[in-house]
Amino acid sequence: MDRVLITSAIPYINGIKHLGNLVGSQLPADLYARYRRARGDEVLFLCATDEHGTPAELAAAKAGKPVAEYCAEMWTVQKKLSDGFRLSFDQFGRSSSPQNHALTQHFAGRLDAEGLIEEVVETQVYSPADGRFLPDRYIEGTCPNCGYDRARGDQCENCTKQLDPTDLLEPRSAISGSTDLEPRETKHLYLRQSAMAERLRDWITTRVDWPTLTTSIALKWLDEGLRDRGITRDLDWGVPVKRGTQDWPGMEGKVFYVWFDAPIEYIACAHEWADERGLSQKDWYRWWRTDHGAHDVRYVQFMGKDNVPFHTLSFPTTIMGSGEDWKLVDYIKSFNYLNYDGGQFSTSQGRGVFMDQALSILPADYWRWWLLRNAPETSDAEFTWESFQLASNRDLADVLGNFVSRVTKFCRSKFGETVPEGGAYGPQEQALIADLTARIATYTAHMDAIEIRKGAAELRAIWAAGNEYLQSAAPWAVFKQDPDRAAAQIRLSLNLVRLYAVLSGPFIPDASRAMLEAMNADAAWPDDVPGFLDALAPGHAFAVPDNLFDKITDDQREDWATRFAGRRD
């Protein structure tokens, strides 16, 4: 049994996330967590809400609520939606937690002791119209590198180039749109990333199994010259600046930058997990401290490509630079963007399908299946309603759902609701078992490597193999002349239902559970495929499940395409 630590990029608290956000981190992380648990591994799967910084302050002000109250309410909303999508977090924490406050201040003190913090008097952008200093990401303008006209003051999301607000052409406030911006002096703390550049490069270049997308972005930033980065802001809401438990003279009234404290929440989330369950420090240290057993842990992160620089450079600088024995990530699975029906998903414009809207029209499995089978691993992907309808109808309803329905209903009508006795597996059945043994090995290899689209394609091929066998064997015709032969065919097919339930669990957990309950079977992994496909013996009771998947009609598709083309209410 291996120990696997899994973290998903933590979503901002300011609003409900769209499907592009979901498939860029949380959903594939859940897929992998479910798969590793199914294989018998010990898994700790962590996520949280990212609650600090200007986005939270502005969203709270718009809602007319104190920011702490707003964040608490939105945590509940996001937790409910993650449950609705069956995201199996062991802990869904909060970056505003006392544990994260303490750990963030601890790391700042350690980095300062190691000479990696510098106090800098700098000129920042102040907006008289907004009455505040503008954080980098709340200054927008045209990127001088690629010409994208909505680049932020910290990074262009189009070309991923690291920027300063002064680099932008025609800068404006992203809050008010005001172009009346003026420079003012203020003092902040900087993390001396440049001092860690070669150590980071040495570490990254040894990650030979990382996706090209991950390493190419990290090395691009290093090749451009890694800049020191401000880690404090002039804001009210956030982690107060301290050296550990001590005040930091000159930093009164300031908070740590959200991109400094947010990744530390991965660690704090494990602390929250332990505290809520009455566990001790050693119980969460064994996941995060290599001097307490975490050297045996495989740590895997999931994120969109825009988050890669912070997870490959800034957060590792914090971990390495602390001089303490914290666990570094072993593998970073990064994703490109999911676009929407000829354009882009947009939270600000309300364009696309958001998590609450998706669950209001269809259960989670429909969405999970399409998003994962089309995960934007090697390039951007595009959601279209036609593709969604096709995958739901052909894969889920026609291939998987139809197989389960035909097998269980035929058995009930001819043999009753128990696995039938009689006959033995013949050459046709043995050929299918051999084919499935090879296919399951391929499926397992893809899932081990976190090759999500390939895993989904192989899973569908496994479903299809059962349908092809059923069509060829035709037990409904065989039964008339040879009931024993038909009994053997149906016995294998019922065992296939259990097999499909187990293999499909990471992708479509609700359907998986329904199949297992109908088969009155456990979810043991099929390490011995021939034995597994003979495990539901004659006399084993089962039930005919409700229809697993309804087909999406053309009228539904057209209605949803119209409904979700513009702004959400």
Q: Which residues are annotated as a binding site for ATP?
A: 347
Alpha-carbon 474 to chain mean position: 42
Residues near 71 by Cβ (< 8 Å), separated by ≥ 6?
A: 13, 49, 51, 56, 60, 94, 96
Beta-bridged to residue 381, according to DSSP, are 338
The CA distance from 24 to 2, in Å, is: 25
Binding positions for Zn(2+) are: 143, 146, 156, 159
The CA distance from 288 to 292, in Å, is: 8
How far, in Å, are 62, 470, 497 from residue 479 at the CA level?
Answer: 68, 13, 20
| Amino acid at position 413, single letter | S
The CA distance from 417 to 439, in Å, is: 29
Q: Which two tokens stand for residue 154?
A: 């910290």
Binding positions are: 143, 146, 156, 159, 347
The CA distance from 175 to 168, in Å, is: 16
Angle between helices 364-373 and 26-38 (to 10 degrees): 100
User: Beta 3-8 vs 91-94: how paired, if at all?
Assistant: unpaired
In terms of Cα–Cα distance, which of 224, 219, 467, 193 is closest to 318? 193
The CA distance from 152 to 165, in Å, is: 8
Specify whether the CB–CB gap between 371 and 27 falls below 8 A.
yes
Number of Cβ atoms within 10 Å of the Cβ of 391: 20
